[in-house]
Chain A
Amino acid sequence: MDFTGSIDFKDLEAPLFIAWQINSECNLGCLHCCEEAGHSIPNEMNKKEIFSFLGQIVDLSIPYVALSGGEPMLHPHLFKICEFLRKHNTSLKVETNGEFIDESVAARIGRLKFRSVQISLDGATASTHEKLRLSGDWNKAVSACRFLIKAGVNTEIVFVPTKFNIHEIGQLIDLAYSLGVYGVYTGKTMRIGRAAQNWDILCPSEQEYEKFFATLNEKVAQYDGKMKVYYYPYDVVEELKYRIQYPSASLLVLPNGKVKLIGPLPFICGDLRKQSLSEIWENYKESWSNPKVIEFAQKVVSEPKLLAEANKWVELF
Chain B
Amino acid sequence: MIFNEHVKIREEKFGAVVFETLKEKVFVTNETGKDVLNLLKEGKTAEEIINSLADLYAVKPEDVKEDISGFVGLLKEKGILVS
Assess the A64–B14 pair: CB atoms within 8 A: no
CB distance from B75 to the nearest CB of A (A): 9
Instruction: Give chain B interface residues in 25-40, CB to chain A under 8 Å.
Output: 26-30, 32-33, 36
Closest to B30 in A: A5
Q: A13-B13, A154-B22 are in contact. Are A91 and B29 (CB under 8 A)?
A: no
Q: Is the CB of A64 within 8 A of B19?
A: yes
Known contacts A11-B12, A13-B13: A5-B21 contact under CB 8 Å: no
Cross-chain contact B19 with A3 (CB below 8 angstroms): no
Is the beta-carbon distance between B6 and A91 smaller than 8 angstroms? yes
- Does B81 have its Cβ within 8 Å of any Cβ on chain A? no
Q: Is the interface of A mostly helix, strand, loop or mixed?
A: loop
B21/A1 in contact, CB under 8 A = no
How many angstroms between the C-alpha atoms of A6 and B28 in the bound complex? 6
Q: How far is the CB of A152 from chain B (nearest CB, A)?
A: 13
Total inter-chain residue pairs, C-beta < 8 Å: 69
Beta-carbon nearest neighbor of B37 in chain A: A3
Instruction: Tell me the bound Cα distance from A154 to B10 in angstroms.
Output: 24
Interface residue ranges of A25-72 to B (CB < 8 Å): 61, 63-64
Q: Contact between B29 and A4 (Cβ–Cβ < 8 Å)? A: yes
Q: Is the CB of B21 within 8 A of A115?
A: yes
Compute how far the CA of A1 lies from the CA of B33 in the bound complex, rounded to whole angstroms: 10
Which of B14, B19, B67 touches A11 (beta carbons < 8 Å)? B14
- Chain A's interface size range is 20 to 34
Q: Does A16 contact B (CB under 8 A)?
A: yes
Query: Do B30 and A4 have beta carbons less than 8 Å apart?
Result: yes
For B10, the chain A residues whose CB sits under 8 A away are 14, 16, 61, 63
Contact of A12 with B12 in the complex, beta carbons under 8 Å? yes
A3 pairs with B21, CB closer than 8 A:
no
Please state if A11 and B13 are interface contacts (CB–CB under 8 Å).
yes
Q: Contact check: which of A2, A12, A115 meets B32 at CB < 8 Å?
A: A2
Size bracket of the B interface:
20 to 34
Contact at B27–A4, with CB atoms within 8 Å? yes
Q: A5, B6: Cβ atoms under 8 Å?
A: no
Check A3–B6 contact: CB distance below 8 A: no
Cα separation A249 to B28 with both chains bound (whole Å): 13
Inter-chain contact A64/B28, CB cutoff 8 Å: no
**Which residue of chain B has its CB nearest to the CB of A64?**
B21
Residue of A nearest to B68 (CB): A1
Q: Which A-chain residue is minimally distant from B23 (CB atoms)? A: A228
With contact pairs A1-B68, A3-B32, A3-B36 given, residues A16 and B27 touching in the complex (Cβ less than 8 Å): no
**Taking the nearest CB of chain A, how far is it from the CB of B32, in angstroms?**
5
Q: Which residues of B contact A221 (CB under 8 A)?
A: none
Which of B22, B28, B68 has a CB less than 8 Å from the CB of A115? B22
User: Least Cβ distance of B44 to chain A in Å?
Assistant: 15
B21 in complex: contacting residue of A6, A91, A249, CB < 8 Å = A91
Q: Which residues of the partner chain B approach A6 to less than 8 Å between Cβ atoms?
A: 28
Contact with A along B18-60 (1 / 0, CB 8 A): 0101100011111011001000000000000000010001000
Give Cα A4–Cα B17 distance, bound, in whole angstroms: 10
Task: Name the 7 nearest CB pairs between A and B, nearest first.
Answer: A63-B8, A3-B33, A91-B21, A1-B67, A5-B30, A3-B71, A64-B21
23 A-B residue pairings within 8 Å (CB atoms): A1-B32, A1-B53, A1-B57, A1-B67, A2-B30, A3-B33, A3-B36, A3-B71, A4-B27, A4-B28, A4-B29, A4-B30, A5-B15, A5-B30, A11-B13, A12-B12, A12-B17, A14-B10, A61-B8, A64-B8, A90-B8, A91-B6, A91-B22
Besides A2-B33, A7-B12, A14-B10, 13 new A-B residue pairs in contact (Cβ under 8 A), listed by A number: A1-B64, A1-B67, A3-B32, A3-B36, A3-B67, A3-B74, A4-B29, A5-B28, A7-B28, A91-B6, A115-B6, A115-B22, A249-B26
